[in-house]
Amino acid sequence: MGNAIRILGLDPGLRHTGWGVVAVDGARLSHVAHGVIAPPDRLPLAGRLLALFEAITEIIALHSPDEAAVEETFMTANGSSTLKLGHARAAAMIAPARAGLPVAEYAAKVVKKAVVGTGGADKHQVAFMIARLLPAAGSPTADAADALAVAIAHAHARTGRLLRSVA
């Protein structure tokens, strides 16, 4: 790969934060790594957030991404749940920012549209397309598939921005 860049995709959650790293070289996408961070439920909120931050920091040190992309928080009917998800998202954004990476944000509908072709896709459709687009990823869990999808959405958006800036 000539000018390949690595993108870290994150799908934040307090119980499970999916992560995925893809390499992009022109229009070519390849799988680097993926997984799920699951802080112990018995920890208080601050402890779980710290565990998320530290795990993402380790992933960055291990896989050396150039950029990061995070899925935006969707509003739920339960304000407390939305707020807690926002905390997890903050931890997921601060770790790459602290490492000096640019951090992009994408709405779930944008991510689904980039990967499946429709913003109303369900988790199974996203996982199916990740397996097709990144065969080396195998069959990742839903959280890891969503994180890989965020990275792919960023790769598509990034390519679009580069093409517009050249034109």
Residues carrying an active site annotation? 11, 71, 143
| β-sheet bridge partners, residue 105 | 70
How far is 160 from 4, CA to CA, in rounded Å? 16
The conformational region for residue 73 under phi > 0 = left, psi -120 to 50 = alpha, else beta, is: beta
Tokens representing 77 are 């009917």
What residue ranges in 26-160 does DSSP mark as E strands? 28-37, 67-71, 103-106
Query: How many residues are there in the chain?
Result: 167
DSSP helix, strand, coil percent of the chain (3-state; round to 5): 50, 20, 25
